[in-house]
Structure 1
Amino acid sequence: MNKKVNFNILKKFWNIAKLYWLGEEKKGAFTLLILLGLLLIGYTQLSVLLNRNQGELISTLAAKDEALFWGAVRSFLTVLVIYVPLFAGFSYVQSKLGLYWRKWLSEHFLGRYFANRSFYQLSAKYKEIDNPDQRISEDIRGFTQDSLLFLLVIVQSFLQVIAFSAVLWSISQQLVIFLLVYAIAGTIITAGVFGKKLVNLNFAQLQKEANFRFGLVRVRENSESIAFYQGEKQEEKHLINLFDDVYKNFNSLIIWQELYLGLFVNTFEFLPYVIPAIVVAPSVLSGDLEVGKVSEATGAFARVFFSLNIIVSRFQSLTSFAAGVNRLSGFYEFLKIEDKKPLDTKNKPIIDTITNGKLATKELTLQTPNYQNTLFNNLSLELPPQQGLLIMGSSGCGKSSLLRAIAGLWNSGTGVIYRPELDEMLFLPQRPYMIIGTLREQLTYPSVDKSISDQELQEVLNLVNLSNLAERFGGFEVEKDWGEVLSLGEQQRVAFARIFVNKPKYVILDEATSALDIDNEARLYHHLTLQNITYISVGHRESLKNYHQSMVRFNDDKSILVKN
């Protein structure tokens, strides 16, 4: 891996890491980090004592000195009693700090993900940022836990190099010099030969695994539609193709990681086990050193070698970590962009949106987000308060797109949209969104902390002709997969119940009664009128004309008829 790649990875890493370590949690974070450092220093020094005691045990046995032997055993056990809880405490604090970091970073990313509807922009316009669910869950988990682990491993390695090099130097200076040259050469070879290739393969593996998992989720979420279409063969073929991508990339990964890198690492790490004995043997055989010094030198040599050898020994983990940093960095760069327009649309026209407490358009021309298709031209209309506007026309003529523009989801085009604040509006799609939660949360959605009694909720259910819904499922606090247990007609009535619970001033209805019979449709619109709500409806039914005071019809020739 060249210096440029290393620098870029470090830069991307720090851009994300500093959010936590230089943010509002920095005092607590650095307090735990300092505690980790102190624990690390403590048990590293105890490791040196344990290594020395092991050598003394062997030397006392070789000298057949029983008194010194049992003294060495007592000394070893004393150090061990202190070492074990110290090491356990270090592991606990490390895990706790990693958990705090993950919690804060996950909440930070979620906040940015939902701010300014970035989640919608991501799905609608930025397809290259794939699988945000994996990046928020898996990549953040790996980023926080692995980066903390690598930091502590580096610090621990530094401390062990200092501590055990002194031991090793007192036994044999030749071992120290050889060790430095050997470790540096191995690191250069590993990074230069295997680095870039393994980072790229690990990055691709994360992406392909996520695509395969997403394909399986889509089958589960759309199982009924697939069954109706009898689309099992096509779905199976699609998933097999996705898994084939996973298989091929992983095959390349294990060839490079397990075979090529494995051969080098195993060979490279085998030799240090025998080298200390070879170097120290002449001094032991001549009587200049005790036999225990062989064990002490071997232990110290191994500690120093593996401390200097962290890049080689952990190279597989480092390349996987680097791939995760790349994915998380790409996601973060998207989330912090204030202007969500692609670069090639910077000079394209944008619809002006003015918040002034009314619903109207002036000379509105709407285009698709990529500017490749004009949906309609020069639409001017104004909806009086507490009245209804019906939008009709054939499929694909721009009816639902107008609603997206009013909601601020699409802004490609020219003209002006006048609208109230978005929190005064409620949008109901044809297929209602059923959240995961209780019946109470289902009815109060999207309000987060709305307080409403069971009696009030029951009155609302009576209005939408779902009087027995709470009783049927066991009350308002029961949790169900509501998208599965309710029919589409019931879901649409639950969506209308949200209107009567949240009491918005404006409602936008996109085919919101398509699954209802005429009587239920008339009942719901009647209650809308009684609530003095201003509403816009998109629909095909002729019966809808009875509930609206004005109408806009989009014709196939892109002409627009406005009737007041």
Structure 2
Amino acid sequence: MNFDVDESRVNDAVNGSFFSRVWKLVTPYWRSEEKSMAWVLLIAVIVLSLFSVFISVLVNSWYRDFYNALQNKDLGAFTHLILYFCGIAAIAILGAVYRLYLTQMLTIRWRRWLTEQHFAKWLAHKNYYRLEQGGYTDNPDQRLSEDLNNFTSDTLSLSLGLLRTVVSLVSFSVILWGVSGSIELFGITIPGYMFWAALIYAAVGSLLTHLIGKRLIVLSNQQQRYEADMRFSLVRVRENAESIALSDGEANENQRLSARFGMVWSNFWTIMKVQKRLTFFTAGYSQIAIVFAFVVAAPRYFAGKIELGELMQINSAFGNVQENFSWFIDAYTQLASWRATCDRLLSFRQAMDENEARVPAIKVSHESDALQLEGLALSLAGGRQLLNNANISIAAGEKVMLSGRSGSGKSTLLRAMGGLWKEGHGAVKLPAKRAFFLPQKPYLPIGTLREALSYPQAPEVYPAERFAEVLETCRLGHLVSRLDETEHWQRMLSPGEQQRVAFARALLFAPDWLYLDEATSAMDEEDEAA
């Protein structure tokens, strides 16, 4: 038996310009009903970020005075500068704490809004069903949970980091230009030469970082998918634990899960190798940066043109400028992960948009007093014909049973009536009355039994005593005392009991039209006859 796990056939490629589509994903929140609070928080975070740059500029000036005091053995100036630094540090700590706190507040508010929007979009137009059946996208749970979380946090982190970097770069570039002086090289006088040295050092580093680490974008995307696939497989084992246990399928499942983890393992090893090469370069780049400024500025210091304080100020300013120029290098791994997250979110939204724009081949409407099929043809995705040019009219009050071999299309016809089947053509005209579908395997949400019975409506819609009545009618009297217990009812109840709960739900809803798809298949003869 082959347990190899093929790569997902889902395509996470995004049509159109990447940044224009990300912009459309980012901007709606800032124009939404929450825009006032969102902008207040964003402006506050930006102000605190700029304030941290101002603190860094003050510390840079402090370096010059402090080291000059040490060089001159000036105890009074030394004491004053230590107290001055303590004041700056206290204010910086306060600013850093509130910058983090407000950023987290903005992130979770943005995530909540985006999550609610995506929940609504995913559940609208049967997207959750059609995307799963058609294989247009994988692991929607991951995209709605982890990817939205990563998108909001990384987008704010990267954008605010870039803003702070730009402001800091301008501030310290002015300082570095002013204190570094000029140098003559090959007969050419270069003003502000330390600034140009930092620029060249960072530019070369950024280019090499991208060349070494560019594979991380694709690998990060694949890693997220493989992790989600493995979690889904684990959930499948939990959901089907009884069938697996009765079949002694543990060894089989172990091989399947190991195959899933094998994809995680293999891809992670590839990521490790790329990150190892990238870390070799970035770590060396950072270590060289520590002494690079001293090496370049040393000739002017030993020539007596600058004092120790100026040398330390130059080193501090150079470090800030070089660090700001190197933002791309330091953020590269996060940028790669953010790009992969954006690709997954955008492809998810694209799949939902395409599904909503797809014109249904079978027209389903609610406009008559009878159930009518007009020229209805149904087929499977492979082309096999199930039904051809069916015309029928069923009046209210009639009872009709469809019979046929398994796979002949009975359930497919009900799916077409429910607007779920896309292979075929023709029209289905449903009565404009209260209708209820009872599938073979009913869905019982996790919650109280009262909520499971009233689904998809709230329990408050029905009289409280009505719940006990329908349970007694469906031979489920032993569950009356448990109406307000919260359980995973699909695990607690047998298949026959689940189907009887579904009938109790139908009695509670009291539809004018009831459609059943082998809704008694798990019941014994006595229950079925009742």
What is the TM-score when the length of structure 1 is the normalising length? 0.85
Amino acid at match of 1:317: Q
Aligned residues of 1:198 and 1:253 also touching (Cα < 8 A): yes
Hey, what's the Cα distance between the residues in 2 that align with 1:479 and 1:78? Answer: 55
1:269 aligned residue (286, 296, 305)? 286
1:428-453, Cα deviation, whole Å (9 max, x unpaired): 11122121111111111011464334
Q: Which residue of 2 aligns with 1:129?
A: 137
Hey, what's the Cα distance between the residues in 2 that align with 1:451 and 1:369? Answer: 39
The percentage of aligned residue pairs carrying the same residue is 33
1:180 aligned residue (199, 202, 206)? 199
Pair 1:412-2:423 in alignment: yes
SS in 1 for 2:403: strand
Hey, what's the Cα distance between the residues in 1 that align with 2:73 and 2:422? Answer: 89
Hey, what's the Cα distance between the residues in 2 that align with 1:449 and 1:37? Answer: 47
Q: Which residue of 2 aligns with 1:161?
A: 169
Alignment of 1:359-370 (within 5 A): 359-368=370-379, 370=381
- Larger deviation: 439-448 or 23-32? 23-32
Poorly superposed stretches of 4+, deviation over 4 Å:
338-341
Alignment of 1:132-143 (within 5 A): 132-143=140-151
Amino acid at match of 2:400: L
RMSD between aligned residues: 2.2
SS in 1 for 2:401: strand
5+ residue gaps, structure 1:
524-564
Amino acid at match of 2:210: A
Pair 1:144-2:152 in alignment: yes
Amino acid at match of 1:240: S
Alignment of 1:165-244 (within 5 A): 165-172=173-180, 173-195=192-214, 197-244=215-262
Amino acid at match of 1:13: V
Hey, what's the Cα distance between the residues in 2 that align with 1:39 and 1:420? Answer: 61
Aligned residues of 1:50 and 1:80 also touching (Cα < 8 A): no
Aligned residues of 1:354 and 1:417 also touching (Cα < 8 A): yes
Instruction: Compute the displacement of 1:503 (Å).
Output: 2.1
Hey, what's the Cα distance between the residues in 2 that align with 1:304 and 1:451? Answer: 65
Q: Which residue of 1 aligns with 2:449?
A: 439
SS in 2 for 1:239: helix
Amino acid at match of 1:133: D
Alignment of 1:321-336 (within 5 A): 321-336=338-353
Hey, what's the Cα distance between the residues in 2 that align with 1:397 and 1:135? Answer: 36
Amino acid at match of 1:168: L
1:380-415, Cα deviation, whole Å (9 max, x unpaired): 322221332211111111111110011111143233
Aligned residues of 2:220 and 2:337 also touching (Cα < 8 A): yes
From the superposition, tell whether residues 393 and 426 of structure 1 become closer, same or farther in structure 2 (CA, over 3 Å).
same
Pair 1:509-2:527 in alignment: no
Aligned residues of 1:272 and 1:301 also touching (Cα < 8 A): no
Q: Which residue of 2 aligns with 1:306?
A: 323
Q: Which residue of 2 aligns with 1:320?
A: 337
1:240-295, Cα deviation, whole Å (9 max, x unpaired): 112111111111111112x2211221222222110222233344444443323333
Hey, what's the Cα distance between the residues in 1 that align with 2:391 and 2:19? Answer: 53
Hey, what's the Cα distance between the residues in 2 that align with 1:519 and 1:386? Answer: 25
SS in 1 for 2:400: strand
Pair 1:255-2:273 in alignment: yes
2:487 aligned residue (480, 492, 500)? 480
Q: Which residue of 1 aligns with 2:470?
A: 460
1:469-527, Cα deviation, whole Å (9 max, x unpaired): 032x4xx332111111111111111111111222222221111112223332233xxxx
Aligned residues of 1:488 and 1:515 also touching (Cα < 8 A): yes
Aligned residues of 2:453 and 2:502 also touching (Cα < 8 A): yes
Pair 1:388-2:388 in alignment: no
Instruction: Compute the displacement of 1:454 (Å).
Output: 3.1
State how many pairs are aligned: 506
Pair 1:497-2:497 in alignment: no
Aligned residues of 1:361 and 1:379 also touching (Cα < 8 A): no
Aligned residues of 2:416 and 2:422 also touching (Cα < 8 A): yes
Aligned residues of 1:12 and 1:326 also touching (Cα < 8 A): no
Aligned residues of 1:369 and 1:411 also touching (Cα < 8 A): no
Hey, what's the Cα distance between the residues in 1 that align with 2:374 and 2:443? Answer: 32
Aligned residues of 2:212 and 2:278 also touching (Cα < 8 A): no
Amino acid at match of 2:153: Q
Instruction: Compute the displacement of 1:371 (Å).
Output: 6.1
Amino acid at match of 1:275: F
- Larger deviation: 399-408 or 177-186? 177-186
Q: Which residue of 1 aligns with 2:3?
A: none
Aligned residues of 1:276 and 1:301 also touching (Cα < 8 A): yes
Pair 1:295-2:315 in alignment: no
Hey, what's the Cα distance between the residues in 2 that align with 1:256 and 1:12? Answer: 29
Instruction: Compute the displacement of 1:369 (Å).
Output: 5.2
Hey, what's the Cα distance between the residues in 1 that align with 2:413 and 2:455? Answer: 24
SS in 1 for 2:437: strand
Hey, what's the Cα distance between the residues in 1 that align with 2:18 and 2:262? Answer: 29
- Larger deviation: 19-28 or 272-281? 19-28
Instruction: Compute the displacement of 1:314 (Å).
Output: 1.5
5+ residue gaps, structure 2:
1-12, 181-191
Aligned residues of 1:276 and 1:298 also touching (Cα < 8 A): yes
SS in 2 for 1:274: helix
Aligned residues of 2:143 and 2:344 also touching (Cα < 8 A): yes
Aligned residues of 1:363 and 1:377 also touching (Cα < 8 A): no
Q: Which residue of 1 aligns with 2:76?
A: 67
Hey, what's the Cα distance between the residues in 1 that align with 2:309 and 2:34? Answer: 49
From the superposition, tell whether residues 431 and 122 of structure 1 become closer, same or farther in structure 2 (CA, over 3 Å).
same
Q: Which residue of 1 aligns with 2:187?
A: none
From the superposition, tell whether residues 149 and 449 of structure 1 become closer, same or farther in structure 2 (CA, over 3 Å).
farther
Instruction: Compute the displacement of 1:193 (Å).
Output: 4.4
Aligned residues of 1:358 and 1:383 also touching (Cα < 8 A): no
